[in-house]
Each structure stands twice: as C-alpha cells, then as structure tokens.
A and B are shown apart, each in its own frame.
Chain A
Amino acid sequence: MHPALQGLVTIIIGVGGCVGYFVLSNYLLDRFLLPARAFSAEQTAARRKLGTIFLFAIPSVLIAIGFLMTDALFSVQGFLWLVLAGALILGLWRLNDFVFGSGATTAGRNISRANMIRPWLFLLPAMVALGLYLTYPVFETFRLSFTQRIPGGYEFVGVDNYTQMMSEPKFWEAMRNNMLWLFVVPAMSTAMGLIVAQLTDRISWGNIAKMLIFMPMAISFVGASVIWKLMYDARPAEQDQIGVLNAIWVSFGGEPQQWLTLPIWNSFFLMVVLIWIQTGFAMVILSAALRGIPEETVEAAIVDGAGPFTIFFKIKVPQIMPTIVVVWTTITLTVLKVFDIVFAMTNGQWGTQVLANYMYDKLFRANDWGVGSAAAMVIMLLVTPILVMNVRNARREMK
C-alpha cells in the first residue's frame, strides 16, 4: 500500500477511533450505565447483575491476552499480569458499586454520578498517552541508567554508567559546550529580540520587518544547518570564495578558514544558527509585552525629561522583566535539547559536542544504552529547576 494512502487510512482510523471512543463512551454512560431517570430496587438489582458479568468478563480477557503474549505462566511478566488483572477487578468492583448502588435510585443521583465519571472519560486517552509516552520513560530511563545490556537482558551495575561517563573527556567537552550554549544563546536571542521589538515598535513597516525576522522559526534546524553551512563554506585561497563569511574575511586580507573546524570558535558559529532562529520567537513575545506597558508611565518619564535610552532601560525593561524571564527560560529549554544543528553541521567533531548529541552517539552509534540513559538523566537534571519553577508559577496563577 502506498504510504500516502496508508497515512490517509490511519488518519481515518486514528481520528475516527478517537472520536468514536468519546462518542461511544459518553453514549454508554448516558444511555445504559446512568440514564437520567429513577430505578426501583428490583431494576437496580438486575442492572447490577448485568454489570457484574461485564466486570468479570473484561479482566478475564485481559488475563488471557497477557498469558498468550508472555507464554509463560509463572514468569515475572505472568505475575505482573495477574497483579494488574487483580487490581482491575478490585477497581471495577468499586466502580460497579458506585454506578449501580443498591436499592432504589433517583434520577438526580444518577445524573450527579454520571457527571462524576465523565471527566475521566474525557481525560482517559490523554492520561494514557501522557503516562506512557512521557511519564513512564522518565522512570524507565532512570532505571536503565543503572543497568547494562547483556545478551538476553539487563544486569544491574550500580553507578558504573555514571562513573564511566564522568571519565570520558567527550562528556566533559559536551558539558562545557552545553554550559556555553546555555549562557550565550538565551542571552543573545533575548537581547536581539528585545532590540528588534523596541526598534520596530513605532515604525510604519515594523510588522513586515518583524515578519521577516520571525520567518526562520518556520525553517527546520536541518534546513538552517544547510543555509549556514553555505555561509561558512571555504574554498582554497586561489579560488573565488562562495561562503559569505570567507568572502568578507578574504576581502580584508585574511586566509580562507574552515570555520567549523576551529576549536572554541566553531561552537559559536553553531550558536549563531540557533540565535538566528530563536530571535524571532523572543521578538514576538517581547513585542507584545512592550505594547502592554501602560502609556502613562512612559509619558511621565518623557515629561520628567528622560531620553529614549533612559526610558527603554529604566522604564520599559523593568516592567517587562517577568516576560524576559519567560523568554529566557523557554529558549534555555530549547538549548538543552539542541541536537539537530550539531548533528547536521559537525556531528560533535572538532570539539563541538553537546549533551543531546553525545547521548544520541551513545544510544545509537555505540549502542550503549546504559551510558546513553545516564546522559539523558543529566539533561533531565538540568531541566528540573525550570520544571519546578514552571509548576510553581502555574499553581500560583490558578489560585
């Protein structure tokens, strides 16, 4: 089957499945489980009996599937399946009580009970996806970082992976570079974004200028890497330079340079690519923040005789400080995960390694899942302060 057709079919199945789940589960709840009407004691008992049959049918099917898949009755997996099924039975038992109750039920009770269940119907697919694709991997990676792969399984090796990682110069090179990236890219992007936002604020073609500076946001990191590799291209001295940087450099009398192989400097040349992309993001957010500054504060400063620079640094910047922090942390997150640019432009050679690329190297080139997971945990550790800060802010805002 052609992939495009397969894609179309999957969209229909996937989206249809999602919509179907929501429609069916709500229909089931409103029509059969908890319809908005009263039931006598006999009716309730009959409905409860029907529910109990389903209650035992679902876990038994699950147990059967589990044993068919693990094909070992007394293995660890088999045991886990039993525990899972047991928990499911217990849960469904409670649910059975909750839905059907005992004795006569009123319509009001049924409606309120249905409304207690519905949020979970709405949330279930999202919770499953988030749990399986984001929460579980954090713990699993944590566990893997203490193991190493042996033929046919894993063995626990304690902190060996971490000590091995710490002893590798490449890891420290990646750490050093990541710190450099963390310092330079958010600072430069935010500063450039702020400058552009301020400059374009009052001019007639400001929106067009902003749109053009914002455009690199739409370009993939890989595309940007190609664009900038052409900028940094070098030809032998006797030929015409086709890379802009070398053309300028040579016109000032320099020798053509392979910019991406010059240690230390090459990291900065890679950072330029990310700054080029992220400035637009910073500009958009900061521009909105600048527009939100109350006019009176600026007018008052003008009346008091403040110049444009004083107004910008003493009046405007302090007022949008919270937004600057948000922009800064968001770009910091992007920087911590930066992979594509380094992978496509230097692949970590010539001293440009960063953590994400180091991790990829370990996982898929060296096939060392233990050290790779340890490197991933280091990235997680670096992200954690921002995670805690964001959750705190979100909770404070909700109150």
Chain B
Amino acid sequence: MDNIAGTKSGLTWAVHLSVAFLVILWLFPTVGLFVSSFRTADQIATSGWWKSMFPAEQNLVIRAAAPDTQVQQGDLYVIEGDLFEGRSAGTVSVWGISSRAIADYKAGDTAELNKGGTITVNPDGTYRMENTEEFTGSRGQRVFITATTPPEFTTANYESMLLDPRNSEGMTKAFFSTLTVTIPSTVIPIVIAAFAAYALAWMEFPGRALLIAAVVGLLVVPLQLALIPLLKFHNVIGIGKGYVGVWLAHTGFGLPLAIYLLRNYMVGLPRDIIENAKVDGATDFQIFVKIILPLSFPALASFAIFQFLWTWNDLLVAMVFLVDSTGETTVMTKQIVELLGTRGGNWEILATAAFISMAVPIAVFFAMQRYLVRGLLAGSVK
C-alpha cells in the first residue's frame, strides 16, 4: 500500500494550507472587531484594524507649551517640552510649522518661526524654542509632526461601557437584564421537558406515537406565528410585557427541542435497569428521579447549552415580549441594534458593546463544546 501513502502525502501540504486559510478566513471578522474594541475612536477611524498590530505612521498637530511657561536663560527666552507629553511615545521623522508645509524639516532640524525665534524638534519629540525677545501671545506654537507610534491598545472603551454609571449607553443594565431573561428561560423548560420526555420514552399509554409526532412537527413551527396571539394572550391574563412573559415564551418555544432531545436520549438507556427497578417495587416517579435523571445528564447539558445560547442571543422574542417604551428592561441584543442606528460610525462603542454581549456565549461555547456537539448530532431531525 506504499503508493497510497505516497498519493496522500502529495496532497497533505495542500490540505494543511487550505485548512489554515479557511480557519483564518473564519476568524478574521471576529478578530477584527475584537481588536477594534481595544482601540481609541481616533485610531479606528484613521486606520484599518489590521494595521494596529504594527507601528503606525501618523500625522499629528500638537501645540507646544504656551508662552507663559518660558524661562530666561542668559540672553535667551526658552520654551522646552515634549510633544508626546500626555500621549504614547513615538518617533518623529519629519515636521513643519505650517499646515501647508507639514514635512519641511527633518527631526533635529531647526526652523525659523514667523513671529521671530527658532524651534528645534528632536526625534524623540522633545523640542526647544529660543528667542532673543520675549515670546508673546496666549497660545503655544502649532507643530505638525509625522510620527511613527508603536501599537497601542486601551481598555478605556470597556471601562466606559461597563463601569461608568453616567453612561446612558452603558451595557451593565442590559447585561443583567439579559441574564435575568436567560436563566429561568433555560431552567424551567428543562424541568418540564424531562418529565414529558420520560413519559414519552418509557411509559405505555394510548396516543403516545401521536404525541411524539406532534412534538416533531412543532419543532419546525416558526415562532413568528406566535407573536401576536401570545402578546394578546399575555395582555388578557394581565402580565403584559415583562420578564414573566418572556420566560413563558422562551419556555414554550424551547420545549419541542427539549422534549425531542431528551426523549431520544432516554429511549437509548438500557431497559434492564428500569425493569429491575420496577421489579424491586420502585414507582415511575422514583425511577425517574433516582435513575433516569442522573443518567440523562449529558442530554440535559446539551439542551441547557442550546437554550442558553438561543435565549442569550435572541432579539425577536425579547423585543416583542419584554422591551417596553421605557427601555428599563432592554436586553443587550436590542441595545446593540439601537446603537447601530444611533452610533453607526462609532466603532469603538459598537465593537465594545458587541464583545460584551458575545463574551459569555463564547466562553460557554469553548467550555462546553463537547455537549454542544453531542446535542447537535442528536437534535437534527433524522
């Protein structure tokens, strides 16, 4: 079989390369947003995020210190300082003192000022202004520099979106709102579905096959159909728009998949265990609680992850059943959509908001991936 191994190795490089290419292609968009969320608004607006990894050449306009800081050294009036003061250090390549000639001088050169005197700008950004007469005016001399600055990242975006209580666009409230929606919406359907799945898997009663078929059918009913009738229903029974409504809605919409997944899993459990327990006098309720539930943990975990991701990421159900005009209960997805409308160009805000909402699902994804894959394999209707 040597020739077969030979054929394979001929292709191996191509395979490795194309997989690497695909992975990079798939990661590229997410990485872009992630990197952007650590850059300042200026940086995002002036250069592509992929350039942020490398030292960037920037044109800056900086004012030298104001004349009132001048000191007298012998005959000369001198102003000294650092152009990079208050910002990250860089290297000056060329500079100028007029907006029409921003690259007239090299670093280290000395230029004549219009109002008399000279200025010298060094590569490290320090400068020295000298004049035989006193510098006048209230504002400092403008200096146009072309500087190479090293890559620079900041967590300021996250601080303002998460920790600043005055920021009305902050995500903290929406984060807790989402959490409040998600947890009951994940736990309640599991409890209800587990009992129903056990009945459908291991109990004999007329109409069982019909019920299973109904569950499979309901699996694909678009929840769009449920919006208006349920909104009307919630208004009639008096819960209106609010957390209770959204919990109930998510429970209802999540149940078919929950029952389907759990039933398929429970049917596969060994019959012997259950029959032995029955012979020993256990009731169905005891069998369910003491044997079936612990054994079904993988399926329960699979569904829990699905439902968690789905409720956390959901926009439509929250908009219809939860978010009212006061905006007190807005969830993160809704808030991001609003920011997209009002702050369409402010990528530092959008990127940060999006990443705050994506952090938890991505963490859950990497931590519980095994169960997610298992659930997918069991859940796709065969």
**A contact set with B: CB distance below 8 Å:** 3-4, 6-7, 10-11, 14-15, 18-19, 22-23, 26, 30, 115-116, 118-120, 122-123, 125-127, 129-130, 132-138, 140-141, 144, 195-196, 199-200, 202-203, 206, 209, 211-223, 225-231, 233, 239-244, 247, 276, 279, 281, 284-285, 288, 302, 307-308, 322, 326-327, 329-330, 333, 336-337, 339-340, 343-344, 356, 359-360, 363-364, 369, 372-373, 376-377, 379-380, 383, 386-387, 390-391, 393-395, 397-398
- A199-B313 Cα distance, complex, nearest whole Å: 30
Chain B residues lying within 8 Å of A383, measured Cβ to Cβ, are 220-222
Q: A4-B176, A230-B33 are in contact. List 4 more A-B contacts (CB 8 A).
A: A222-B337, A226-B353, A383-B222, A398-B209
Chain B: minimal CB distance from A375 (Å): 8
Known pairs A218-B309, A344-B340, A394-B216; A137 contacts B230 (CB<8 A): yes
Chain A residues lying within 8 Å of B205, measured Cβ to Cβ, are 116, 119-120
Stretch at the interface among B95-103, B142-150, B178-186: B178-186
Interface size on B, residues (CB 8 A): 120
A340-B316 in contact (CB<8A) = yes
Interface string of B299-340 (1 = CB under 8 A from A): 000000000010011111001100000000100010011001
Chain B residues lying within 8 Å of A132, measured Cβ to Cβ, are 233, 252
Select B19's contact among A7, A19, A199, beta carbons within 8 Å.
A199
Stretch at the interface among B23-31, B111-119, B124-132: B23-31
Known pairs A11-B183, A219-B361, A343-B315; A199 contacts B22 (CB<8 A): yes
Chain A residues lying within 8 Å of B193, measured Cβ to Cβ, are 126
Question: Can you list 15 A-B contacts (CB < 8 A)?
Answer: A7-B243, A133-B251, A137-B228, A209-B19, A209-B20, A212-B23, A215-B27, A215-B366, A220-B357, A247-B50, A288-B377, A326-B382, A336-B222, A372-B228, A376-B224
Chain A: minimal CB distance from B106 (Å): 25
Stretch at the interface among B79-87, B151-159, B195-203: B195-203
A133-B228 in contact (CB<8A) = no
A379-B195 in contact (CB<8A) = no
In the complex, what residue of chain A is closest to B33 when comparing beta carbons? A227
Chain B: minimal CB distance from A78 (Å): 15
Known pairs A125-B196, A200-B19, A276-B26; A223 contacts B358 (CB<8 A): yes
- A138-B351 Cα distance, complex, nearest whole Å: 38
**Residues of B201-253 contacting chain A, CB below 8 A:** 203-205, 208-209, 211-230, 232-233, 243-244, 247-249, 251-253
